[in-house]
Chain A
Amino acid sequence: MTALPQTTSKKLGLVIDLDTCVGCQACATSCKEWNTQGYSAPLADEDTRGADPHGPWLNRIHGYEVEDTNGKDSRVVHFPRSCLHCETPACVTVCPTGASYKRAEDGIVLINPDTCIGCKLCSWACPYGAREYDVQEGVMKKCTLCVDRIYNENFEPEDRQPACVKACPTGARHFGDLGDENSAVSQLVKERGGFDLLPEMGYKPTNKYLPPRAKRDTPQAGIEALPKGDGSAMDRLFKLADRLLSGN
C-alpha cells in the first residue's frame, strides 16, 4: 500500500562521506553488477555499442567544483547520488498501483516489479532523481539498499551489506540503522556533522552526507614546506656532495 507507515522499527540507510570519496565509480558499477542479477533484475542498457548508450543505474556519481569562500581556491567534491529512503517519500504516496511502498520493519523504499505500471509519476515526485525508468522491463527501478544482500543468510555476516558499501575502496560509504542513535552510523553523523539533502522540502531523507573536511594544506604552504638547509655539519656535507656531483 502507498500509505506510509507511521513509524519504522529501523531506519536503514547509508552515510556517504564526501571527504573521502574519490569518485572512482566502484560503488556505481558494483551496484549495477549486483542489481542486474538480483531483486527486480535485469537492469538492461539500451544501445550499448552505439552512440547513445543509456539505461537505468541506481547510483550516480556526480562531480562538483567547490570554491573556498575567498574565491581563490577550489576543490573537486565527488558526490554519489542514490535513493535516500526518505521517511515521508512522495514517490510512494503518488503511486497509483501500490507498487511503490515503504517497509514498516526497516524503512526501505521498494518497487514491486510485478505491479508497477511504469507511469513514471514517482520519478516526477522525487526531488533527488532516485528513480529511473527501465525501457526494456517497462517498470521503474531504484536502489533497494541491496535488500537481497543485507538479510541474506547465505552470506558471511560481514558481507551482509549493500554492494556499494562493500566495493568502496576508501571507506566512504557506511551502512547501518540511522534510527538507533547509538549505532556506528548515527555516531559518525553526529561526530562529522552529517546533513540532509534539501531538508526544507520535507521528505526527511534517511541517508546522510558527511561534509568535506576543511583543507589542511594550501598551495602556498606546500611551497614553503620544501626543506631548507639548517647549517648543520650533515647539511654542509650534503651540499658539498651535491656540488661535487653536479661538477661545479
Chain B
Amino acid sequence: MNPAYSVIFFTTASGAGYGLLALLGLTASSVGQSPSLAFVLVSMVLALALITAGLLSSTFHLGHPERAWRALSQWKTSWLSREGVAAIVTYPFALAFGLAWSGLYPAPDAIAPLGVITALLSLITVFTTGKIYATLKTIRAWHQPLTVPVYLFFALASGSALHLALSAFFTRDPGPVAPVALLSLGTLAVLKFLYWRAIDQAPRDRTMGDATGLGDHVRQWEVPHTTKNFVQREMGFVVARRHGKRLRGLFYILLLVAVLLELLAITIPLVSIIAFFIVFISAWVERWLFFAQGEHVVTLFYGNAQA
C-alpha cells in the first residue's frame, strides 16, 4: 500500500494527542487539580493541537475536503465514519475537562468524571482508527488481531512520553506517568514483535490462479495499460523485504533508546523531551512500514504470484 504522508502524520500526531489526552484525563481524575496551571494549559492545548492538526491533515488527501462533514453520517457500517464521530464527540468533553481541571471554570467535582469520560473517548477514537485497517480483508498484514492493540499502545506510548516531557519541563518531576510510559513502550515492543511474526508466518495462500480462476499455471502476459494506473499506484506499493528488515531493526533500536532515556529521566527529567521525539520518530517508521508491507489482494491481477 502506498504510504501517504498525510495519513501517516494524521495517525501518529492524533495518536500522540489522544494518548496524551487520555493520560491527562486519567491522572487528573486520580490526583485532582494540578499544582501547575501552566502545565495544564500547555498540555491541554498541545493535545488538542496535535489531534486537530492530525485530523486536518487527514482531510488533505481527500478529493473534496469541503464535503468531509458527510463522513459523520454512516457510523452504522463504516469504521471511518465512526472514527469521525468519536473524534468530534471527544472535543466538547475534552474542553469541559480542560476548563474544570485548570480551574478556569471552578468545578472540582467535575474533574474526575470528565477526565474519565475524556480518556475513554480518546481511546475509543484510536480504537476506531485501528479498526479501519484491521477490518480490511483485502490486506492480509492489516487484517490481524494485533493491528488494533498496536494502534492503542502507540497512542499510549507516545502520549505518555509526551506527558513525561511536559511534566519534566513544567514541574521538574516525572510525575505519576513514568511507569505507564515505560510499561507501554515495553508492551509495544512485544506486540510489534508478535505482529511481525504473525504477518511473516501467515501463509500467502491467495494466488494469481485464485484471482483469475485460471488454475495453478498462470503468468502475467500483458498488462492492460501502458503506464501505471490508480490501482497500481495506490495498492501496488511494496517495500523490498530487506529494507523492511532494516527498518524493523531501526524501530527496535529507537524503542530501546526511548526506554533508556525515560529511565534516565528519573534523575534528569528534561531528558524525557528527547525521549518523546524518539518515540514519535519510531511511530513514523512503524506506520510507514505498516503501509509499505501491506500487500493488497488486487496485486494478484497485476503479476504478483501470491498475496
Which A residues lie at the B interface, using CB under 8 A?
1-3, 18, 23, 28, 52-54, 56-57, 60-69, 71, 74, 76-77, 79, 81, 90, 92-99, 115-121, 123-129, 132-135, 137-139, 195-198, 200-202, 209, 211-212
State the Cβ distance, B289 to closest chain A Cβ, in Å. 17
Do the beta carbons of A117 and B231 come within 8 Å of each other? Answer: no
Contact of A90 among B137, B211, B220 (CB under 8 A): B137
Do the beta carbons of B235 and A117 come within 8 Å of each other? Answer: no
Do the beta carbons of B74 and A65 come within 8 Å of each other? Answer: no
Instruction: Give the complex CA separation of A120 and B7 in angstroms.
Output: 12
Given contacts A116-B64, A126-B298, A132-B231, contact A65 B221 (CB under 8 A): yes
Do the beta carbons of B222 and A63 come within 8 Å of each other? Answer: yes
Taking CB as reference atom, which chain B residue is nearest A196?
B213
Give residues 197-221 of B contacting A (CB, 8 Å).
206, 208, 210-215, 217-221
Instruction: Give the complex CA separation of A197 and B79 in angstroms.
Output: 26
Taking CB as reference atom, which chain B residue is nearest A133?
B230
Within 8 Å CB of B298, what residues of A? 126-129
State the Cβ distance, A98 to closest chain B Cβ, in Å. 5
Instruction: Give the complex CA separation of A5 and B43 in angstroms.
Output: 47
Instruction: Give the complex CA separation of A52 and B226 in angstroms.
Output: 9
Instruction: Give the complex CA separation of A71 and B218 in angstroms.
Output: 11
Given contacts A54-B227, A117-B62, contact A66 B215 (CB under 8 A): yes
Do the beta carbons of B229 and A2 come within 8 Å of each other? Answer: no
**Does B174 touch A at the CB level, under 8 Å?**
no
Which B residues lie at the A interface, using CB under 8 A?
1, 61-65, 67-68, 70-74, 76-81, 84, 132, 135-139, 206, 208, 210-215, 217-231, 234-235, 296-298, 301-302
Within 8 Å CB of A71, what residues of B? 217
Contact of A138 among B64, B80, B208, B228 (CB under 8 A): B64
Instruction: Give the complex CA separation of A137 and B64 in angstroms.
Output: 9
Q: List 12 A-B contacts (CB under 8 A).
A: A23-B222, A52-B228, A57-B229, A62-B223, A67-B219, A96-B78, A115-B70, A121-B80, A129-B235, A139-B64, A196-B213, A197-B211
Within 8 Å CB of A126, what residues of B? 138, 298
Within 8 Å CB of B223, what residues of A? 62-63
Do the beta carbons of B137 and A69 come within 8 Å of each other? Answer: no
Do the beta carbons of A129 and B136 come within 8 Å of each other? Answer: no
List the 8 shortest-distance A-B pairs measured between CB atoms, nearest first.
A118-B63, A138-B63, A63-B222, A67-B217, A96-B71, A96-B81, A60-B224, A97-B70
Within 8 Å CB of A64, what residues of B? 208, 212, 214, 218-221
Contact of A133 among B208, B211, B234 (CB under 8 A): B234
Taking CB as reference atom, which chain B residue is nearest A60?
B224
Given contacts A69-B217, A129-B298, contact A198 B63 (CB under 8 A): no
State the Cβ distance, B113 to closest chain A Cβ, in Å. 30
State the Cβ distance, A120 to closest chain B Cβ, in Å. 7
State the Cβ distance, B221 to closest chain A Cβ, in Å. 4
Do the beta carbons of A98 and B230 come within 8 Å of each other? Answer: no
Instruction: Give the complex CA separation of A123 and B4 in angstroms.
Output: 15
Given contacts A124-B1, A197-B213, contact A95 B218 (CB under 8 A): no
Taking CB as reference atom, which chain B residue is nearest A68?
B217
State the Cβ distance, A166 to closest chain B Cβ, in Å. 20
Taking CB as reference atom, which chain B residue is nearest A124?
B136
State the Cβ distance, A126 to closest chain B Cβ, in Å. 7
Instruction: Give the complex CA separation of A3 and B81 in angstroms.
Output: 13
Within 8 Å CB of A93, what residues of B? 77-78
Within 8 Å CB of A124, what residues of B? 1, 136, 138-139, 234-235, 296
Within 8 Å CB of A125, what residues of B? 136, 138
State the Cβ distance, A237 to closest chain B Cβ, in Å. 48
State the Cβ distance, B74 to closest chain A Cβ, in Å. 5
Residue in B80, B219, B231 with the greatest tally of chain A CB atoms within 10 Å: B231
Do the beta carbons of B67 and A117 come within 8 Å of each other? Answer: yes
